[in-house]
Chains A and B, each alone.
Chain A
Amino acid sequence: MTKWIRWSGLLGFVVFMAVLVAFWLFAAAPIIKFSIERFGSQAVGAKVDVDEVTLGFNPLVLSINGVQVTDIDEPMSNLVSFDSAVADMALFPLLLGKAIIQDMSLQGVEFGSVRQTSGALSKPAQTTPSQTTEAEPAKQQVAAKPEDKVKTSSSDPLLSADEILAREPLLTVTRGEKFKSSLATHKQEIDESLASVPNEKTLRDYQSKLDIILAGKFKSLKDFKARKKALDDLQDQFKTDRKAIKRASAAIKNGKKDLQSQWSGLKQAPKEDYKNIKGKYTLDAMGTSNLAALLFGKDAGGYAATALEYYEKVSPLLANDDEEGDLLEDAQQKRLAGQFIHFPTDRPLPDFWIKHLSFSANLPMGEVMVTVEDITHQQDVINKATTLKAVGRDLPAIKSLTLNGVLDHRIGKGRDQFDLAIQDWQLKGLNLGLAGLELDNSLLDVKADAIFNGSHMNAQGQGSFNQANFSSNDKTVLAKEMVSALANIDTFSVDGKAEGKLSHPDVSISSDLDSKLSKAFNKRIKQKQDELAKELRNKLADKLLSYGGDYEDQLKQLNVSEGSLGDKSKAMGKMASTEMGDYQSQLKAQAKAKADKKKKELAKKAKDKLKKLF
């Protein structure tokens, strides 16, 4: 029998196996470290760093120290990091290449810790700059948020009359400026034309001169000629002055017509402005209809966005690779390479399985104990879903916090469900981001649940605020009115819903605060509406006055000037129509008068003779 045994071969085999085991013992830890870093980085899409991995053999304990998982969106910060992880591993499955961790506990877990070096994966040189530009838009988005806030506040439902008038393009101003400009132009034109019109003294002088010219009889032909020349000169002057009067009358007439036309438009402008402003600025409680979304949307949206970010990063890690890619092609490849057929068992062996993971996370709200059961990417093998439970421990501001999650990826695209319950969360100094409003203090109860079906989500939550007190440091009208309106509200609830595609769900936030605020606002708003309307009208009237000014007086003066010009024109016309007879006519008239006198004397003599005869 012994002749069949090859001792040298037996020894060689034993030595070979011993070397193999020895190699595994020494190389296992570095290989595990390398594997975690390499495959972890591939899975996360950013660097996963491990300081040290040690392996203990009795019992088999894997210790991983200094783990940092980079946030792919912010390479200078970690998605999660922990100081150490101690894992109790099952030896036998490990020999089969299956990492089955019975129990794993993490210490020093932190989220969003700062990295010393960038955790971006090195890419080809030409793509490296894009990494920095990828990070920058994120910062820009963050930086843009305050601007958004400013934009939001620009649509504040309540503003002062001055604020409204300052930001609105007013017809009163537009038409007023035009009117003012036209008035100045016309005034200048009228003044210039009136300057060449003779005044009363000049007219009296004209009349005196005319009287002198026409007084008495021509003493001689020379006298006649001199008077004639003086009259002609005077009439030429009359013609010039009449033309000036005509121009001035036309200027006044045009000015009056234009200004009157503009004035009627200007007088209507304040009414039109008020109508426009009233339509644009809802001076009623409708302005508060979605105030809750404005107040709490940012915070609720922020928490939800953070939760979704973490979910989107974790969820793919749970997905079974078997479900990815072209299933048909995958199945064909498997068929050629063979595949494992799993049978019902209470001892399933997936490639990777953390049966129990526990850690405490230091979050801004305090310490939260987290336990996760059955972490594996092959849930179909273990036929169990990954379950998550987070419980707040001695939280300073929260009476109780519980988050339960079930991530089930056994069938299809998976179905993940989360329930969150927070009781008596003492909120203090919560900046609401609108009009400097702060929720000074309040007790908040939160109940929320979310279901993720593949790429679809359906989440809803309700926050019940009790003993709420608001304040604002802003001096704006809105801030004051908000605080006044909120003073009587100490309980309210905020409901949030997110439904649709995971990448862009339809989000809605509603609250009974809206109706409560509306009610409280209605009274204040009515009062403010009246005040504001009155103030607006007064301001607009002031503006009208500033443009119209003493237009009415000026118009009266223009009318007077126009009338005066008419009189002057008439007087000038009368004077201009004055004519002087010629010297020959005067001589003929004298000769005729002499002949007539002689004729009368002869007739009288004849009459007396006839009387004497009878």
Chain B
Amino acid sequence: MLGMLAKFFKVLNGDGAPGQIALGFSFALFIGLTPFLSVHNIVILFLVFAIRVNLSAFFLASALFSVLAYGLDPLSVLLGESLLASPGLQEFWTSLYQSDFWRATKFNHTLLLGSLSISLLLFIPVLILSRKLIGLYRERFMAWFEKLKISKMIRASKFYKLYEKLGA
């Protein structure tokens, strides 16, 4: 936990572009909230690796959202169920169900559809919000934060040194 926190502050205090960090957070929504072994996650991983997304931010946020997913799963399942059972969408789902590709995405799984829907809904808000918060943090709080005892403690911790040593 301490290591993650150290890494988080390293990312925030590093020279990574705020947009790339924000993208990392946003893409992490999919990996963290939705079941990992899904076709859409291959696409997400491809995008994360192929586009200059901050990988540290991505993996850090993935871990964070995976923890959050435990609490969100029931909500995701309910959302997925309501979507799949929605009379107005039956024709749409049925047409998707005829396609091997869409079947491969497991769109008809309640948890996957629900969590994917939440991820999609939150993608843009998280992207914008995290982008703004990172900018705000760097402008107003970074210098002040680095002077805090906790910041010094973190930087003095063996985990932080280890991360620095590894160049993470």
Contacts and interface: CB of A to CB of B under 8 A. Distances in A.
Contacts of A96: 103-104, 106
A328 interface: no
B97 A5 contact: no
A339 B110 contact: yes
Given A335-B77, A336-B74, A339-B110, A9 B103 contact: no
Interface string B75-114: 0110011001100001001100110100110101111101
A280 interface: no
A338 B109 contact: yes
A95 interface: yes
B108 A12 contact: no
Given A95-B104, A343-B93, A343-B94, A336 B51 contact: no
A448 B77 CA distance: 49
A4 B49 contact: no
B94 A336 contact: no
Contacts of B111: 337-339
Contacts of A92: 100, 104
Given A5-B51, A6-B51, A92-B100, A13 B110 contact: no
B50 A341 contact: no
A93 to B, nearest CB: 7
B103 A4 contact: no
Contacts, number: 77
Interface string A81-119: 000000000001101100000000000000000000000
Contacts of B132: none
A345 B103 CA distance: 11
A338 B112 contact: yes
Contacts of B114: 338
B144 interface: no
Contacts of B128: none
Interface size class of B (residues with CB under 8 A): 20 to 34
Given A4-B52, A340-B106, A340-B108, A345 B94 contact: yes
B77 A13 contact: no
Given A338-B114, A341-B84, A347 B100 contact: yes
Nearest to B45: A13
Nearest to B101: A92
A13 B80 contact: no
Contacts of B80: 338
A10 B48 CA distance: 9
Interface in B35-90: 35, 45-46, 48-53, 55, 73-74, 76-77, 80-81, 84-85, 90
Contact of A6 (B35, B49, B94, B112): B49
A178 interface: no
A344 interface: yes
Nearest to B19: A4
B51 A4 contact: yes
A427 interface: no
A345 B52 contact: no
A352 to B, nearest CB: 16
A343 B97 contact: yes
B49 A343 contact: no
A90 to B, nearest CB: 9
B97 A345 contact: yes
Nearest to A12: B49
Interface string A316-336: 000000000000000000011
Contacts of B100: 92-93, 347
Nearest to B94: A343
Contacts of B74: 335-336
Nearest to B42: A17
Name the residue in A9, A10, A338, A343 with the highest tally of chain B Cβ atoms < 10 Å from its Cβ.
A338
Contacts of A295: none
Nearest to B53: A6
Interface string B13-48: 000000000000000000000010000000001101
Contacts of B93: 341, 343
A349 interface: yes
B38 to A, nearest CB: 10
A9 B85 CA distance: 40
A13 B108 contact: no
A588 interface: no
8 contacts: A10-B50, A95-B104, A338-B109, A338-B114, A339-B109, A340-B106, A340-B108, A345-B94
Interface of A: 3-6, 9-10, 12-13, 92-93, 95-96, 335-347, 349
8 nearest interchain CB pairs?
Answer: A338-B111, A9-B49, A343-B97, A13-B49, A10-B50, A338-B110, A341-B84, A343-B94
